Structure 1
Amino acid sequence: MEKRFDRKTVQDKLKQSLNRRINIIFLIITALIMLLILKVGYLQLIKGETYAAQIAAVENVEINNSVPRGRIFDRNGVPLVTNSSQKSIMYTRDRVTSQSELLDISKKLTNYIKMPIDNITERDKKDFWIISNRDKVEERMQKELDLFKDGSLSQQEYDQALLKKITNKDLESISDDELQQLAIFRIINGASELAPVEVKGEDVTEEEYATVSQNLDELPGVSTSMDWDRVYPQGDVLKTIFGKVSSKEEGLPKDLLDYYMARGYERNDRVGKSFLEEQYELTLSGKKTKMRYVTDKSGKIKSTEVIEPGQRGDDLVLTIDIKFQKKLEEIVEKHLKKLQKMDEEWSEEPIMDRAFIVVQDPRNGDILAMVGKIIDEDGNVSDYAYGTYQTQYMLGSSVKGATVLTAYQNNDLKVGQEIVDEGLKFKGRTSLMTSFFNPTGSKYPMDDREALQRSSNIYMYKLGLKAMGLNYSYNMGLPLDVSEASEDFQKGFHQFGLGVETQIDLPNESKGYQPKLEGNFAAIQLLQATIGQHYSYTPMQATQYVSSIANDGYRLRPHIVKEVRSATNNDELGPIKRNVEGTILNRIDNSNKEFKQVQNGFLDVYNKLYGTGYEYFAHKLPVTAAGKTGTAQRYIGKKNGEDQFVYNLTNVGYAPAENPVISFASIVPDTPMKPDRTFLPSHEIEAEMITEYFKLNKHLLPENSKGFTGEDEQSVKDGNDQLETINQN
């Protein structure tokens, strides 16, 4: 009885143990099933779209194709830069195209198009010979191939050895037909997968375009399309300022590759690479056409479709008046040729070779015209408009308005204050420092207004001494440390845009040259800076400076773009997308009374007897203008033991004197001075400019304007006749 009980107990225990094991296995299986269900659910519900997109990416690849750039117009809607369509042969490489297939496509294309071969290099020929002569390569390279296989030779060493074994005779064996094939192959072999490249985009004939289009079935990956190129309806006028666009061969600039690639550009995209085209690249480039390439699983292209049409770039409307720009270029060119002839007569070694003038609207910062011309020894004139903001020159007395206003700011001068113009003698210097109008240095008291009118150097020198905390006395010494005074002086000039960037909407602007004043001559250099010596500024900076005086103290950002217009599908300008307005950069820290005093001084320069601009501006203009002339002396070396100098002839001004609508700055560097202290008549440029501007814009003439006299009309005609005569000679 006891034994039966024990046997039953053992059986029960075995049964319970088995049941537990079965339950554990069942739980494990259930858990695995649940995990599987969760995983499948996760893949379908959470990651389903991701994997579907990856599958679709194998079969549907989106590519962006470039579109024509936006156009550029002048302020009146006259086209300056447009596009011309040109026929183009394109190729799109799929994912599995082999080099032998590329060779076959290249060979077939030679039956339909003729390629230029000038760009084929020796390395191109060697690579082509290698691909086309596999058997000969294997025969010549057997030894090197064995070394490469056993690791004794690297891939680079093998390739170099192979290139060395290709002889000139091998390269000469490439036929003319094969060179045509190579010209095509080198392009399509370098193409990225599914990224269209241009095989031929220039000089595609009607016959080539038609025959390729008719035979696309036997040319996999080849297509025909219409490309674009830049056209300049106004010829070379301002062409340097418009800038250039890269070719498809150039593609993206290497130094900006990451910048453009991050914005959806392809390596071979054409982009603006200088001046306006570069500055407004993102505006002009447009919206690319989005294409879908459908491929099979092997990577072969099955079909293409447009999924999002492109749109050419937006248009730019400039502040430039192209009619006025052209007229001003004629004026500058005429006088530059005239001045060159005079320079040759006056100088043993003439070096004058350029002239600049910038015209701006002081009310809003619009650049109405910017002219730079450079002339060679044979009298050939070329455009140098970018020199108006990228090159700098000493301005001479033209800066004296800024000197006086800075002295007001620093409490070194009061409106109407008299200072004696006289010869200055400093310790250690043998010669007197004098004003041009007072060469003997006799005592001549004058106020600030007359000092501007007669261009008193001594008045400005004494303001420079006050900036150093000094009053003049005969044979006085000058301090060595003028750092604080020069810093205050430069800060004052910076308010006008002299010595800082104007912030014009063009790339690579120069901010002029204001070196640190130190050493034994620092004090003298500071005095010279008060009359426009030692420091150099661009014509654009000079224009911003005088505009700030014309508009009662507002420094405006100059700009060459007036509006951005939305792209249209026709030749018409679209609606305004964005206005580019003249931003106020700063208000100059002077009172209205102080500005009025300087403006009156500028008025007297042009319109009062003994004013330095009286001869050119008092009686020859249709309006009353105001401004400040300048002459900066530049040392060029010694000759026969004597110092030799040339002179920058400068002028800043505005018109009409009341409520001005134009301001300007002109510079003719490196001109001679005759022994009788006569300078070249460069200010005729500005006088003619003012007359021509108001002839083109009679609606801007004030009610009390002088009008256009017969003499004015005749002088313009004589000037044009003179230009024609000079060109003929």
Structure 2
Amino acid sequence: MDYFRKNSGTGSNKQAATPIRMRIILGIIFVLFALLIGQLAYLQLAYGSRFKSEVARNDSKVVSSQVPRGVMYDAKGRVLVGNKANNAITYTKGASTSTSQIYKISNALSNYITLNDEKPTEEQLAEYYLADQANSTRIEAQLPAAQKNSDVLTSAEINQNMIAQVKRDKIKFTAKQKVAALIFNKISGAYTLSTIYIKNRDLSDHELAQVGEHLSELPGVGIGTDWERSYPNGASIKSIIGSVSTEKSGLPSEDLQSYLMQGYSRNDRVGTSYLEKEYESLLKGTKSTSQVLTKSDGKIQQTKTVYKGQAGASLVLTIDAKYQKQVQSTLKRVYSSAIGAGAARYSNGAYAIAMNPKTGALLAVAGINRNPKTNKTYDNALGVINQSFVMGSVVKGATVSGGLINKVITPTNNTLPDTAIYLPGSPVKKSVYPIGTFGSLDAPTALEVSSNIYMMHLAMKWVHASYVPKRYIAMPDNSFQILRNNFNMFGLGQRTGVDLPGEVSGIEGRTFNSQGHILSGSLLDLAYGNYDAYTPIQLVQYVSTIANGGYRLQPYIVQSVGRTSNNGKKIYINYTKKPNIQQRIPWTHDELNVVRQGFWRVVHGTNGWGTAHKLKGVKPSISGKTGTAQTFYYDPDHPNRKNPPELINATFVGYAPSNNAKLAVAVVFPGLDPDMEGSYTLQVAKAMVQDYFKLHK
């Protein structure tokens, strides 16, 4: 009995203890809730208004917008490239714009505008289609489980599977839906609080009015102005001016990081070639800035202009648009006649350049590039700085000059034998005229008749070569460097420093053979212009140096930089380019006159082997030098072709008037038939001189 009583007492105690513990726990919970409610009440009473203002607070951010690029004028103040203002439909993306909102705006806007010059891709159509939640749900349901398993695949991979399914379904889209897809793609790719152009070309008055009437229904959409490049004097000048990227292409990938570090946006339009690229920092101007106020939900409440920006600087070029057109037209006409005659069957182009020899200002830059297989041609004016050719006898003025400066010959003692050069194991090295035509020649006559033999004898004497006809020739290892240093002094074989990107220095031939022996025969070829390759702009710099008395001037194409007035009628100049002398040729007056006399006789001489007598009657008088150099046709489709056609590069350099030069020219016709050379370079040079002085009487 006692046992049962004890057990019975123990159970009763446990039952009594349980309610006590529950009451303690409930009491603690009550106290905690009371403290929490008290804290909330305190915060509501003490800081309620502050929290309310935080919720309603607007965010303010500064965004920037494009301004018109700088205008380019020719030397006479004519607009070469300007800006055409276009009405535009814009969109500024809010801070928290959702995909469904973009979808809704795109559909609404497609009711009012068309985008006829653009077509959406399959990818863009699929992304637009999936932006509708109902469409997205239906497409996802069609996918096999393995293609939508979020435990294995990322959301991007699942989305790609859904896009692929949309493509497989071959859904038919209406014209309006295709426009909406394009708009959706543009808006989706925009950065937060950035303004993009939905349509900035061919916007009709009706479209503008329709969008304007419904702006309240189109959050973020606005009406603005965009700019595009215009060419009032023809687009052929673009081969010098260059191009500007579109908003769609944005910053060039190869310079992306550099531009981003300078504060550009990825969709900014920048110069991508030639002057547009070289002077990008000046032409871009200073962007306008606006303060954008957004609500707490990310929607844009207000946009206020802080700084209206500054249009890009204006450039005044050295080129006269009218003269430029004449030179380009002449080059095309004469080159076409060469093609028609069969002389330019394998030729890949032609080039002409004019420069003021007293300042270095480029007056005209013209070029043609041609595909010999298709006979298609296009303007390539900048070929004058990035195409190299073996130029032939036009460089003989530099060879004679070097001989005089280094006292190898003198103004009173410059006669050398005109006997052909016979190297062991090589064909005879001679001039165009028959061997034995001249026993000896002085320097001016050698230039007049374009004697290769004279230049080779001069080079051998200059480098102290040892020579026994048909048996032996030896010369120092630095012989090439001696001649090349002399050519470099005139700008041949090195960049001129012209203010255009992409200039090349030319091509140097090999100095030594595989056994390490100097290529003596090639050095003799170098002496008369048949070895190293130069650019047309190097030729015009070289002949200008002779024309102006020995000052090698840096060529340039931008004369001055300024600002165009708001009405576009006046240019305020801030900077003007001054001539830059790169080197003074250490001539004496008499030494210079030897070369000038030779260049005068090339045109005005009486020797029957003179090479440019056809220019004798041109007014004002021309002095100059012709050239031909042997070359071969290179077929890119058959690079190892045996016995390729033998061709010549025909060239001319000159200046006028002969006694006080104001114009220097260089003309290059590469790849002509040697039996049909004609006088194509002389025809172009003659027109360049006559046209220039008619415009500048």
TM-score by length of 1: 0.82
Change (3 A) 1:524 1:99: same
Hey, what does 1:91 align to over in structure 2? 91
Q: Check whether the contact 2:450–2:611 (CA below 8 A) recurs between aligned residues.
A: no
Change (3 A) 1:421 1:142: closer
SS in 2 for 1:566: strand
Hey, what does 1:727 align to over in structure 2? none
Q: Check whether the contact 1:482–1:523 (CA below 8 A) recurs between aligned residues.
A: no
Quote the offset at 1:193 in angstroms: 0.5
- What per-residue deviation string (whole Å, max 9, x for no partner) do you get for residues 557-609 of structure 1? 10111111213211213211111223112222433332222112111211111
Confirm whether residue 440 of structure 1 aligns to residue 442 of structure 2.
no
- What per-residue deviation string (whole Å, max 9, x for no partner) do you get for residues 140-176 of structure 1? 458358842xx4334454344434443522x414443
Hey, what does 2:529 align to over in structure 1? 532
Partners of 1:643 and 1:101 lie apart in 2 by 66
Q: Check whether the contact 2:103–2:128 (CA below 8 A) recurs between aligned residues.
A: no
Partners of 1:494 and 1:139 lie apart in 2 by 74
Confirm whether residue 395 of structure 1 aligns to residue 391 of structure 2.
yes
Change (3 A) 1:153 1:670: closer
Letter of the structure 2 residue corresponding to residue 648 of structure 1? N
Hey, what does 1:646 align to over in structure 2? 647
Partners of 1:288 and 1:690 lie apart in 2 by 44
SS in 2 for 1:683: helix
Hey, what does 1:131 align to over in structure 2? 131
SS in 1 for 2:291: strand
- What per-residue deviation string (whole Å, max 9, x for no partner) do you get for residues 320-356 of structure 1? 0112112222322222222222235xx9xx3235321
Quote the offset at 1:381 in angstroms: 5.3
515-524 vs 249-258, greater mean Cα deviation: 515-524
Quote the offset at 1:496 in angstroms: 1.1
Change (3 A) 1:117 1:553: closer
Question: Map of 1:351-366 to 2, 5 A cutoff?
Answer: 351-366=346-361
Hey, what does 1:32 align to over in structure 2? none
Hey, what does 1:406 align to over in structure 2? 402
333-342 vs 116-125, greater mean Cα deviation: 116-125
Please list every run of 5 or more consecutive structure 2 residues that lacks an aligned counterpart in the other structure: 1-53, 636-640
Letter of the structure 2 residue corresponding to residue 612 of structure 1? G
Hey, what does 2:468 align to over in structure 1? 473
Letter of the structure 1 residue corresponding to residue 247 of structure 2? K
- What per-residue deviation string (whole Å, max 9, x for no partner) do you get for residues 480-538 of structure 1? x7541101211111111111111111111121111231116711111101111121111
Hey, what does 1:449 align to over in structure 2? 444
Question: Map of 1:39-438 to 2, 5 A cutoff?
Answer: 59-116=59-116, 118-132=118-132, 133-140=135-142, 143-144=145-146, 147-148=149-150, 151-169=151-169, 171-343=170-342, 350-374=345-369, 382-415=378-411, 416-429=413-426, 431-437=427-433
572-581 vs 609-618, greater mean Cα deviation: 609-618
Change (3 A) 1:175 1:678: closer
Letter of the structure 2 residue corresponding to residue 297 of structure 1? S
- Which portions of structure 1, spanning 4 or more consecutive aligned residues, are displaced by more than 6 angstroms? 54-58, 376-380, 640-643
- What per-residue deviation string (whole Å, max 9, x for no partner) do you get for residues 39-94 of structure 1? xxxxxxxxxxxxxxx99997221111101111111101111111111111110011
Q: Check whether the contact 1:482–1:517 (CA below 8 A) recurs between aligned residues.
A: no
Partners of 1:614 and 1:567 lie apart in 2 by 46
Quote the offset at 1:678 in angstroms: 6.8
Change (3 A) 1:225 1:643: closer
Change (3 A) 1:391 1:121: same
Quote the offset at 1:207 in angstroms: 0.6
Hey, what does 1:669 align to over in structure 2? 670
Hey, what does 1:606 align to over in structure 2? 603
Quote the offset at 1:442 in angstroms: 5.2
- What per-residue deviation string (whole Å, max 9, x for no partner) do you get for residues 274-332 of structure 1? 11111111111112111110112332211011111122211111100112112222322
Letter of the structure 2 residue corresponding to residue 570 of structure 1? N
Q: Check whether the contact 1:293–1:305 (CA below 8 A) recurs between aligned residues.
A: yes
Partners of 1:546 and 1:190 lie apart in 2 by 54
Change (3 A) 1:376 1:451: same
SS in 2 for 1:412: coil
Change (3 A) 1:467 1:142: same
SS in 1 for 2:363: strand
Partners of 2:328 and 2:483 lie apart in 1 by 36
Partners of 1:476 and 1:583 lie apart in 2 by 49
How many equivalent residue pairs?
Answer: 631
Quote the offset at 1:382 in angstroms: 3.3
Quote the offset at 1:393 in angstroms: 1.1
Change (3 A) 1:521 1:58: farther
Letter of the structure 2 residue corresponding to residue 647 of structure 1? I
Partners of 1:451 and 1:57 lie apart in 2 by 88
Change (3 A) 1:157 1:62: closer
Hey, what does 2:618 align to over in structure 1? 621
Quote the offset at 1:659 in angstroms: 1.9
Q: Check whether the contact 1:565–1:573 (CA below 8 A) recurs between aligned residues.
A: no
Q: Check whether the contact 2:286–2:310 (CA below 8 A) recurs between aligned residues.
A: yes
Letter of the structure 1 residue corresponding to residue 430 of structure 2? T
Q: Check whether the contact 1:373–1:384 (CA below 8 A) recurs between aligned residues.
A: yes
- What per-residue deviation string (whole Å, max 9, x for no partner) do you get for residues 396-450 of structure 1? 1000011112233444333332101012212223x4322223x123552222222
Q: Check whether the contact 1:543–1:663 (CA below 8 A) recurs between aligned residues.
A: yes
Change (3 A) 1:413 1:119: farther
Partners of 2:459 and 2:367 lie apart in 1 by 33
SS in 1 for 2:533: coil
Change (3 A) 1:369 1:478: same
Letter of the structure 1 residue corresponding to residue 529 of structure 2? G
Quote the offset at 1:177 in angstroms: 3.0
Confirm whether residue 460 of structure 1 aligns to residue 455 of structure 2.
yes
Percent identity over paired residues: 31
SS in 1 for 2:293: strand
Change (3 A) 1:422 1:545: same
Confirm whether residue 509 of structure 1 aligns to residue 507 of structure 2.
no
Q: Check whether the contact 1:654–1:662 (CA below 8 A) recurs between aligned residues.
A: yes
Partners of 2:93 and 2:612 lie apart in 1 by 72
Quote the offset at 1:471 in angstroms: 4.8
SS in 2 for 1:664: strand
Letter of the structure 2 residue corresponding to residue 126 of structure 1? A
Quote the offset at 1:454 in angstroms: 1.7
Partners of 1:260 and 1:679 lie apart in 2 by 50
Hey, what does 1:14 align to over in structure 2? none
Partners of 2:242 and 2:179 lie apart in 1 by 33
Question: Map of 1:673-692 to 2, 5 A cutoff?
Answer: 673-674=674-675, 679-692=678-691
Confirm whether residue 596 of structure 1 aligns to residue 563 of structure 2.
no
Change (3 A) 1:154 1:692: closer
Hey, what does 1:567 align to over in structure 2? 564
Hey, what does 1:522 align to over in structure 2? 519
SS in 2 for 1:382: strand
